Amino acid sequence: MSTGLIFACGGAILFVMGVAGVILHDHLLRRILAFNLMGSGVFLVLIGLAQRGGVPDPVPQAMVLTGIVVAVAATALALTLARRLFALTGGYTLPKDGDE
């Protein structure tokens, strides 16, 4: 079990926890948290599998660097939309089916 493989397996479990969190939570902020966990899990899988032989690989490292910055931009955008929803409805949950 090399370092890369351990963190790749950890990343897979993180991703799955994030997916379950996005599906099961109602509060939008918790969904955004779970979405970030999904992203971190994917990054760990990318680097962990690429470096499972123990040799540092610069190409997936550059891709994950790009990914982290894009993830923070997506999170900021999601939070802006959530705050807009809060300003309009007073809460951080989406209206259920059957509401107007």
Partner 1 sequence: MIRSAVVILAALFAAALIVAFLDLPPAEIDLPAAVTANMAISGVDHPVTAVLLNFRGYDTLLEIGVLLLALIVVLAVAPREEVAAPLVASAADPVLQTLARIAVPLMLLAAVYLLWAGAHQTGGAFQAGAVLAAAAVLLHLAGLLPGWSAPGLSLRGGLAAGFLVFLAVAAALLTEGALLQYPPAWAGALILLVEATLAVSLGLILAGLFLFLS
Partner 2 sequence: MNVDLAFDLLLAAALLWSAWRTLATPDIFRAVILFIVFGLLLTLAWARLAAPDIALAEAAIGAGLTGALLLDAIGVLRGRKKP
Smallest gap from Cβ 49 to partner 1, in A, equals 7
Considering the rule CB under 8 A, would residue 13 count as an interface residue with partner 2?
yes
Q: What angle do CA 95, 20, 9 make, to 5 degrees?
A: 155
The residues, any chain, with a CB within 8 Å of residue 44's CB and separated by 6 or more, are: 7, 8, 10, 11, 14
Considering the rule CB under 8 A, would residue 35 count as an interface residue with partner 2?
no
Q: Which of 60, 54, 78 is nearest to 5 (CA)?
A: 54
Considering the rule CB under 8 A, would residue 3 count as an interface residue with partner 1?
no
Considering the rule CB under 8 A, would residue 26 count as an interface residue with partner 1?
no
Judged by CB under 8 A, the stretch of 27-35, 52-60, 92-100 that binds partner 1 is 52-60
Smallest gap from Cβ 95 to partner 1, in A, equals 18
